[in-house]
Amino acid sequence: MTMTAAEPARLTEPAALATPDGRSTRLAALDLFRFVSALGVALFHLVAVAGSGGVRIWGDPPEAVFGSFHRIASYGWVGVPFFFMISGFVVCMTAWDRTPEQYLRSRVVRLFPALWVCMTITTLVATAYPRVFTPVPFRAFLANMFLLADPLGVPRVDDVYWTLWLEIKFYLLFLAVVWIGVTYRNVVAFCLLWSVASVLAAEAGQPWLDALVMRGNSHYFVAGVAFHLIHRHGSRPELWLLVAFSWALSMHYYDGNPWQAVHGMSYRPSSVAVTLCFGALALLSLGCLDRIRWRPLETLGTATYPFYLLHYVVGFAVVHLVRRHTTIDPVTLLVLVIVALIGLSILVSRHVERPFAARLARALTKRSV
């Protein structure tokens, strides 16, 4: 797993639960978690990764430009496993009482409209300013449209898309639960079987099995699903055991994280950060964060997925271009680029992604009737 190609995970799910009287109670804390995760990954790329490749977008090494903040940003990749945990929580939440057709339709509508829009923007930027990233060939672009770059072995439009391929595999694995019925017993059995299969895959040493069960990342999805069950059904010993087992696996696999190993970084800060991610979702699942009601979080939450898809290639290109033609302070530039990307993501979410997704949902619904 290449940490220079980091998260999110799927981030545009409605962070809401249905109440008994049919009203929707939005979990604003999930929107906050999404944004914090995406911001961490963006800082990781723009500050830490920015100086490790062939092009240094800041001119000087980022550790010299940003000082101690470079060290902090170097652990922003922890946002990726947090993405996966959030995805497990939300997918289990939204799959309840849905048919397989409804489940698959919701996955397509949530995943692809924003991807197609942001992928087009990314490709246009790379084409117009190829000094940092070279645009992919047309055939690779078509494969990327359906997130098939990884299985087909073609270049990605944007390296951060590697997480979305894992998301699709998680969706397909969870489809088995939806197919037989999303019940407490079936979901717990799914989590247990997936966890056991991931451990056995390490012993089997078969690449195809690793690819199927996503050893090294499966425990984050499992933890997210278990946290949703806690939120829905209350604390139960078997659920906390699943969470504890997933946390233990996370401590094992990120001990050998490539980014840390290559750059000689301490494992302790990342283990603390990952543990804090588990703790945050534990507080959410226990209802401790239900009082968070700040309305702007919904806007940030819905814009986080486009932000994740745009921050890497577009962010690098903007920083490199501005640094070549101005003497603006790097910290100020970093803040301005982050704010600009958030603003662009909000516009994409409101005026492009939502209308596009609504039309796609209607078209798919008509086809299934």
| Cα–Cα distances in angstroms (integers) from residue 121 to residues 5, 61, 89, in the given order | 18, 28, 30
The helix/strand/coil state of 26 is strand
**Predicted confidence (pLDDT) at residue 53 exceeds the cutoff of 70:** no
Residue 141 CA from chain centroid, whole number: 21
Q: Under the phi-then-psi rule, with left for phi > 0, alpha for psi from -120 to 50, and beta for the rest, what region is 24? A: beta
| Range of weakest confidence among 102-111, 265-274, 275-284, 319-328 | 265-274
By the 8 A CB rule, do 319 and 58 touch? yes
Count of alpha carbons within 13 angstroms of residue 314, beta-carbon side: 22
Q: How far apart are CA 3 and CA 49, in angstroms?
A: 9
% of the chain at pLDDT higher than 70: 90
> Has residue 231 got a pLDDT over 90?
yes
Tell me which amino acid residue 47 is: V
> Do 96 and 231 touch, CB atoms closer than 8 A?
no
Structural domain tally of the chain? Answer: 1
* Pair of tokens at residue 9: 């995970």
Is pLDDT at 19 greater than 50 in this prediction?
A: no
Task: Check pLDDT > 80 for residue 24.
Answer: no
What lies within 8 Å, CB to CB, of 50 at 6+ separation is 56, 57, 58, 62, 316, 319
Q: Closest Cα partner for 223 from 251, 257, 201, 204?
A: 251
> How many CB atoms are closer than 10 A to CB 112?
18
Helices 296-310 and 100-128 cross at an angle (nearest 10°) of: 60
Using pLDDT thresholds of 50, 70 and 90, give the confidence band for residue 34. Answer: very high
Question: Alpha helix (H) ranges present in 205-294?
Answer: 207-213, 218-233, 237-253, 258-263, 267-285
CA distances from 333 to 78, 248, 277 (A): 24, 39, 29
Question: Residue 198 in contact with residue 213, Cβ under 8 Å?
Answer: yes
Quote the pLDDT of residue 26.
75
What three-state secondary structure class fits 283?
A: helix
Residue-level pLDDT at 256: 57
> How far is Cα 246 from Cα 218, in angstroms, rounded to an integer?
8
Cα–Cα distance between 353 and 113 in angstroms, integer?
Answer: 6
pTM: 0.91
Q: What range defines the domain where residue 123 resides?
A: 3-368
Q: What are 240's two structure tokens? A: 């906390």
Closest CA to 178 of 84, 96, 89: 96
Confidence bin at 261 (pLDDT 50/70/90): confident
- The mean per-residue pLDDT over the stretch 340-363 comes to 92
> Which single residue is written with the structure tokens 């996955």?
107
Mean pLDDT of 19-32: 66
